[in-house]
C-alpha cells in the first residue's frame, strides 16, 4: 500500500505542505508507506515546464530522465493520492496544473484508474476560493478515472468535498481535524479497493 501526497504550492514548508504532512502522519501511523512530492522542484527542472502535446499519443519524451519521470513512475504504483494546492485566483496553482498536464501518458495507460484520491486546499481568507480549488483538483482526478472521496469517515461524520484551511494552517484546528479525517477515508477506500487495482495492473 502506497499513499502519495502532492504539494502544488511553490512553498515546500508552507500552509498546504503542513496539511499534507498532517495527512501523511495519520496514514503512517497505520504502518503504510507514504511519499511527499514537492512538484515545484520537478516542474522547475523540466526542459519544457508546460505540456505542448509534442507527441500523440504521449510518449513522455519531454520528461525522460528527470524528477518528473520518477514521480510519474511512483504514481503508477500508488493506491491513494492526496492533492494539495493553495488557492490562486480561485483555482489551483500553476505548478499543480503544469504537473498534471504532463500526465497524458499515465492517462493513456489508464495507470490511475481506481486509485483513490482526496484533496486539501488553503486560502488567505475563510471564504477565499478553497472549494472551487478543491473542485478543480477533483476534476483532475476524475479525468484519470480515479475514485474521489471527500473528508467524510463513518466513525466521524459525512464530511464535505475536501479539507480546507485558512492560513496559517497550523492554527486552523478545524482544518487539521478535517485533514486527518480525509486521510483516514483515503486509506480505508484504498484498502477496500486494492483488489481492483491489482487486477487492473495485471497482478
Q: pLDDT tens digit string along 89-142?
A: 999 999 999 999 999 999 999 999 999 999 999 999 989 999 999 999 999 999
pLDDT at 47: 84
State the residue range of the domain holding 152.
Answer: 2-200
pLDDT at 99: 97
Strands 147-148 and 163-166: unpaired
- Residue 29 sits in a domain of what CATH number? 3.40.50.360
Domains held by the chain: number? 1
Stretches where the chain sits below pLDDT 70 are none
pLDDT at 142: 98
pLDDT at 149: 98
pLDDT at 203: 74
Please report, for residues 39, 171, 173, 190, the alpha-carbon distance to residue 123 in angstroms, rounded to integers and kept in the order given: 19, 13, 15, 28
What global pTM score does this model have?
0.96
pLDDT at 48: 85
How far apart are alpha carbons 82 and 27 in whole angstroms?
11
Amino acid at each position: 500500500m502506497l499513499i502519495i501526497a502532492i504539494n502544488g504550492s511553490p512553498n515546500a514548508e508552507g500552509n498546504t505542505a503542513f496539511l499534507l504532512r498532517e495527512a501523511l502522519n495519520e496514514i503512517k501511523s497505520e504502518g503504510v508507506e507514504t511519499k511527499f512530492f514537492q512538484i515545484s522542484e520537478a516542474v522547475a527542472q523540466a526542459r519544457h515546464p508546460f505540456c505542448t502535446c509534442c507527441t500523440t499519443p504521449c510518449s513522455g519524451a519531454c520528461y525522460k530522465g528527470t524528477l518528473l519521470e520518477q514521480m510519474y513512475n511512483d504514481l503508477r504504483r500508488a493506491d491513494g493520492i492526496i492533492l494539495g494546492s493553495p488557492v490562486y485566483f480561485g483555482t489551483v496553482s500553476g505548478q499543480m496544473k503544469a504537473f498534471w498536464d504532463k500526465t497524458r501518458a499515465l492517462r493513456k495507460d489508464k495507470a490511475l484508474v481506481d486509485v483513490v484520491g482526496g484533496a486539501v486546499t488553503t486560502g488567505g481568507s475563510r471564504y477565499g476560493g478553497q472549494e472551487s480549488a478543491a473542485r478543480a483538483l477533483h476534476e483532475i482526478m476524475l479525468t484519470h478515472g480515479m475514485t474521489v472521496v471527500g473528508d467524510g469517515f463513518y466513525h466521524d461524520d459525512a464530511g464535505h468535498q475536501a479539507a480546507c484551511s485558512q492560513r496559517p494552517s497550523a492554527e486552523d484546528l478545524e482544518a487539521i481535524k478535517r485533514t486527518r479525517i480525509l486521510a483516514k477515508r483515503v486509506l480505508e477506500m484504498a484498502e477496500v479497493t486494492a483488489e481492483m487495482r491489482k487486477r487492473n495492473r495485471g497482478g
